[in-house]
Amino acid sequence: MVSLSALAFVVLAGLVTCLATGLGALPFFLVDEIPDRWTVGLWGVASGIMLSASGFGLILQGLNYGTPIEVGAGALAGVVLVVLAHRVISDAEIDPREFAEADFQKLVLILGVLTVHSFPEGVAVGVSFANLGLESAENTLVVLGFSMPVLAAFMTIAISIHNVPEGLAVSIPLKNLGMSKWRMVGAAVFSSLPQPIGAGIAFVFVRWARAFLPYGFGFAAGAMTYLVLSEFVPEALDTGRDLEHRGLPAFALGLLGGALAMTPLLLY
């Protein structure tokens, strides 16, 4: 049985990652333009964090609960979902202007498309909380009275940091359209609104169906890894296309920094 307080805690963690997307718009309160080199570096940091969290966190946890075949099957399902999400998004072709001009029905449509896009990230957060509050669980932190898995803390931080450059990517075209700074923040947060929803659904599922835990961990790892390869890296290369070596040094430095930031996972 899943307690409402535990579910609320997980949804709150998903909300934190969602709000972090709004941080991507905050630099425009101070400067008019963000150097491309910094943006490329941020994508590198996000990539390093996500890959480390997937390999050292989610996959290893999945292997603690199941076989490599089960974890691999879950990872394949995660990849398939991201591939389908990309097809839906490419077919929708939402214009950033629609964030500012949308009526209620249009917002519902946009939210539906964004759900397909950011739902896997929410799932990754929710799955990492599978052992929340379980006294038998190892490697936990006490947060707001809950025994929170260390992996869940790292995943929440990882997705939050990953959301900052995504929020920046959303904000840049909106700024060019003349949208106010606070509306840019709101639009960035709106783009990640499905994450707390996905976190809550995934948490309830893995708590009710513990046998699916290895598949769940594999699913989250597969989705996140494919997101890095299919979205983060191309986005970084596109942003750095006018930089020397297409910004690869900045991306590599960020990638290394992000990976090193997640090394504490190896200690637990």
Task: For the chain, give every domain's residue range.
Answer: 4-267
Reported as half-sphere exposure (CB side, CA atoms, 13 A), residue 155 has a value of: 32
**152 and 128 Cβ atoms separated by less than 8 Å:** yes
Q: What is the DSSP letter of 228?
A: I
The two three-digit tokens of residue 144, written as one number: 């707001």
Indicate the pTM of the whole model.
Answer: 0.76
The two three-digit tokens of residue 58, written as one number: 């989610």
Name the nearest CA neighbour of 262 among 143, 185, 156, 147: 156
For residue 117, what pLDDT is reported? 66
Report pLDDT digits (tens) over 55-92.
Answer: 888 888 889 888 999 999 999 998 888 787 777 666 55
Distance CA 196, CA 192 (A): 8
Instruction: Report CA-CA distances (Å) from 83 to 72, 195, 224.
Output: 17, 18, 12
Residue showing tokens 């390869």: 229
- Give the residue, 120 or 103, on which the prediction is more confident: 120
Report pLDDT digits (tens) over 104-162.
Answer: 455 555 555 565 667 778 888 888 888 776 655 556 777 777 778 888 888 888 888 87
